[in-house]
Amino acid sequence: MKRIIERTEDGSATLFVPELNEHYHSVKGALTESQHIFIQMGLNHSQAESPRVLEIGFGTGLNAFLTLLEAEKKQRDACFTSIERYPLAEDIVHQLGYPEIIAPEASEKFYALHAAPWNQPVRLSSWFTLHKIEGDFTHFDFQSHYDVIYFDAFAPEKQPEMWSQPLFDSLYRQTALGGILTTYCAKGVVRRMLQTAGFTVERLPGPPGGKREILRASKPA
């Protein structure tokens, strides 16, 4: 799958996939989007002292990096699991330049996220454990429960197989009591599938300059 690096409006990079005619992030701001949807509305909303995070789509590693930084800042012992079907090549990872604009002092930790072996847990800092899974989310049998889920797949019209009722039903079963799921997609059909799965769903304001609304789904405690 070919990927082209592009700069978004907040200065951070994203990737464009010509095959899908789709970007990995909002062109209005990759960093702004990830920080708002997954950290502020997701991780920071969770009441779990040691949050177990599941990410659908490791992608550029931006969400993982922001989660690592936040876990260290708040001293919350985060266990971060991410499943990815198409891992990035090392040269693309370095061209993204995320550490330089986010946290230059943590540059080594960003590259450690990508260098970490797949399919096994790796302790990357005192407050962060990474478990990258190379595989297809639509055929993966999860064994754990999660306090926070970042649903960051490509858009429904680009990857409809990732946005189906059986998959949201499965994610509901894997969500811990009181757990939450956040996603950038606020389409009515997605909201209804989450509700059918059992989640209580909120529409929340989207990131500054980006989408008007996002979704946060909660599993009753």
- Any idea where the domains of the chain sit in the sequence? 31-218
- Which residues are paired to 6 by β-bridges? 14
| Mean predicted confidence (pLDDT) in 17-43 | 95
- Is 156 a residue whose pLDDT tops 90? no
pLDDT in tens, 59-115: 999 999 999 999 999 999 999 999 999 999 999 999 999 999 999 999 999 999 999
CATH class, 31-218 region: alpha beta
The full DSSP string for 155-174 is: PTTT-GGGS-HHHHHHHHHH
Contacts of 138-141 with C-beta under 8 Å, sequence gap 24+, read 138/162, 138/164, 138/167, 140/83
- Which residues are paired to 15 by β-bridges? 5
Sheet order of strands, 13-17 included: 4-7, 13-17, 22-23
Cβ neighbours, 10 Å, residue 108: 10
pLDDT, residue 175, reads 97
pLDDT band for position 155 (50/70/90)? confident
d(CA 15, CA 59): 9
Q: Where are the alpha helices (DSSP H) in the chain?
A: 30-34, 62-74, 90-96, 98-102, 107-115, 165-174, 188-197
